[in-house]
Amino acid sequence: MDKLILRTGSPGSTIDPAVYGHFAEHLGRCIYEGIWVGPDSPIPNTQGIRNDVLAALRALKVPVLRWPGGCFADEYHWKDGIGPKEQRKRMVNTHWGGVVEDNSFGTHEFMLLCELLGCEPYINGNVGSGTVQEMSEWVEYLTFDGESPMAQLRAKNGHPKAWKVKYFGVGNESWGCGGNMRPELYADVYRRYQTFVRNYGENKIYRIACGANVADYKWTEVLMREATRFFDGLTLHHYAWGPGPDWESKGMATGFAASEWYNILQNARRMDELITRHSAIMDQYDPEKRVSMIVDEWGAWYKVESGTNPGFLYQQNTIRDALVAGLTLNIFHKHADRVRMANLAQTVNVLQSVILTDKEKMLLTPTYHVMRMYQGHQGARVLDLTLPENPVLAGDPSLPRFSVTASVDQAEVVRISICHLDPEASATLDLTLPPEMVGRKVVGEVLTAPKMDSHNTFDAPEAVKPMAFTAFRSTAKGLELTLPARSVTVLTLRN
Ligand code: AHR
């Protein structure tokens, strides 16, 4: 039996709730249909935002939402999305399917969504095809409360009071779709644009610079060397995909070979190495860790579902994705001293979504359930939870069987989360607790499913859902747990 040891000695860093953030781009059916149906829709809505999705996201306690992109952000001109709907410009969404974007969801609608969710807005400004003036005016429009052209325009459009905006990103993937810049150029461009991202009144903006693509360590080095003092956060993007070496050889979300189970989980685990190595570079320039690493795009990326627009990035979501989510959150917890925001891509109907919709129907994905099961970790402090030996799996001898994390919240409630990556067999774990915790009241929840690609459909929306976890017994030193294959388990220990 494998051993798991919890030590409560001195709790580590606080897990910033923003690590449980989401990302919603004008891409496919994420914003349109997934979130926004318009006030005249037969789908029940609140001022145009669909009620079922709203309720599901509220239950997740979404801390922060990133918008409007992604690649779309660097083509988005915010003034096209304000004012009377019938006068808003129609444009082509060149990145994502070449469809018409009618701008009916713009700044006011996004801020309303954040208000209804009770989350922080994270707005990504346009550097690639936008001007400094345009970005500067957007910040003025959003946050300036006095008398100014943009504050007047906002009032004319029905919102006299300024909003609070905490997070602002200056460009997205500026090494790629956001302008194909080299890091030296972007560092200078960033310094210039951010100068005009002003703090008005009490509103203090957390400035976020575009960071590296996956393992581009040179990008991080140059940005930290040339511009550290001008930003609060530096981003990192990493998607888990495979099995082939090139982008075109991505696998499917369902119906995949057993080897792809291991391949995707290995790819997701790579996040640990990426954060470690980018952080080491950041440490050289910022040893006090003032600057946050913001993983504002992460998740699994597969081929689109057959018969869907290739530009819409619509994919199913299985128990494998639940494990991708769980183990990635565990990695973020481990690096809580540097990673202070992360945004799962993307909220509804795009990539590793938490929600899928089909017209008036909605379902929660296995990934949703993990985000909900883990929410007690938000704002808690990391505890030392170790597996003295983490055995590897028969199907891939370089993939450890378990990924684990633990935290303690302000009410002294301890949570232990365990991802069991074996697709075939169950396992037992001997959990040693600190003496003062032996005998505490334990409540458990588990998410598992019969097959590697089990998922929810609109005909069977609850095929994969969490259940109470009762497969444990007390021992002299703690608990003995029996974990099903392909499972995410969360234990809550209360006094
Ligand atoms: O999330 C989909 C796309 O992936 C985003 O628009 C872009 O930033 C990234 O390449």
Q: Closest ligand 1 atom to the C-alpha of 71?
A: 6
Residue whose CA is at the smallest distance from ligand 1 atom 6: 70
Instruction: Write down the pLDDT at residue 480.
Output: 97
For 58, half-sphere exposure in the C-beta direction (CA atoms, 13 angstrom radius) is: 12
Q: Closest ligand 1 atom to the C-alpha of 239?
A: 4
Q: How many angstroms separate the CA atoms of 288 and 290, rounded?
A: 6
DSSP code for 318: B
Question: How many residues are present in the chain?
Answer: 495
125's enclosing H/E stretch is strand 120-125
- Given a contact cutoff of 8 angstroms between Cβ atoms, the answer to whether 253 and 318 are in contact is yes
| Whether residue 345 has its Cβ less than 6 Å from ligand 1 | yes
Instruction: Write down the pLDDT at residue 423.
Output: 96
218's enclosing H/E stretch is helix 217-227
Q: How many angstroms separate the CA atoms of 464 and 454, rounded?
A: 7
Q: Closest ligand 1 atom to the C-alpha of 176?
A: 10
Pocket perturbation via mutation, ligand 1, pick of 25, 29, 208, 343 by most ligand atoms within 8 A of CB: 25
**Across the beta sheet with 427-432, what order do the strands follow?**
384-386, 2-7, 427-432, 478-483, 472-474
Burial 345-366 (b: 16+ CB within 10 A, else e): bbbbbbbbbbbbbeeeebbbbb
Beta bridge partners of 121: 65
Q: Closest ligand 1 atom to the C-alpha of 69?
A: 6
Instruction: Write down the pLDDT at residue 11.
Output: 87
- The Å distance, Cα 346 to ligand 1 centre, comes to 9
Active-site positions read 173, 297
Query: Which among 100, 82, 80 is positioned nearest to 92, based on CA atoms?
Result: 100
**Across the beta sheet with 487-494, what order do the strands follow?**
381-382, 402-408, 414-420, 487-494, 441-447, 467-469
Taking every pair of C-alpha atoms in the chain, what is the biggest distance, in angstroms?
A: 71
Pairing of strands 472-474, 478-483: antiparallel
Q: How many angstroms separate the CA atoms of 417 and 410, rounded?
A: 18
Instruction: Write down the pLDDT at residue 247.
Output: 82
| Whether residue 336 has its Cβ less than 6 Å from ligand 1 | no
**Tens digit of each residue's pLDDT, the chain (495 residues):** 899 999 988 889 999 999 999 999 999 999 999 999 999 999 999 999 999 999 999 999 999 999 999 999 999 999 999 999 999 999 999 999 999 999 999 999 999 999 999 999 999 999 999 999 999 999 999 999 999 999 999 999 999 999 999 999 999 999 999 999 999 999 999 999 999 999 999 999 999 999 999 999 999 999 999 999 999 999 999 999 989 888 888 999 999 999 999 999 999 999 999 999 999 999 999 999 999 999 999 999 999 999 999 999 999 999 999 999 999 999 999 999 999 999 999 999 999 999 999 999 999 999 999 999 999 999 999 999 999 998 899 899 999 999 999 999 999 999 999 999 999 999 999 999 999 999 999 999 999 999 999 999 999 999 999 999 999 999 999 999 999 999 999 999 998
| Whether residue 71 has its Cβ less than 6 Å from ligand 1 | yes
| Whether residue 69 has its Cβ less than 6 Å from ligand 1 | yes
Instruction: Write down the pLDDT at residue 419.
Output: 98
Q: How many angstroms separate the CA atoms of 382 and 407, rounded?
A: 4
Residue whose CA is at the smallest distance from ligand 1 atom 7: 70
Where would I find the H helices in 144-201?
Answer: 149-156, 183-195
Rounded to two decimals, the pTM is 0.97
Instruction: Write down the pLDDT at residue 477.
Output: 96
Residue whose CA is at the smallest distance from ligand 1 atom 5: 70
For 243, half-sphere exposure in the C-beta direction (CA atoms, 13 angstrom radius) is: 9
Residue whose CA is at the smallest distance from ligand 1 atom 3: 70
Q: How many angstroms separate the CA atoms of 279 and 260, rounded?
A: 29
- Given a contact cutoff of 8 angstroms between Cβ atoms, the answer to whether 458 and 363 are in contact is yes
Cα distances (angstroms) measured from residue 142 to each of 108, 134, 200, 261, 344: 9, 12, 10, 44, 25
Instruction: Write down the pLDDT at residue 140.
Output: 98
DSSP code for 228: G
99's enclosing H/E stretch is strand 99-101
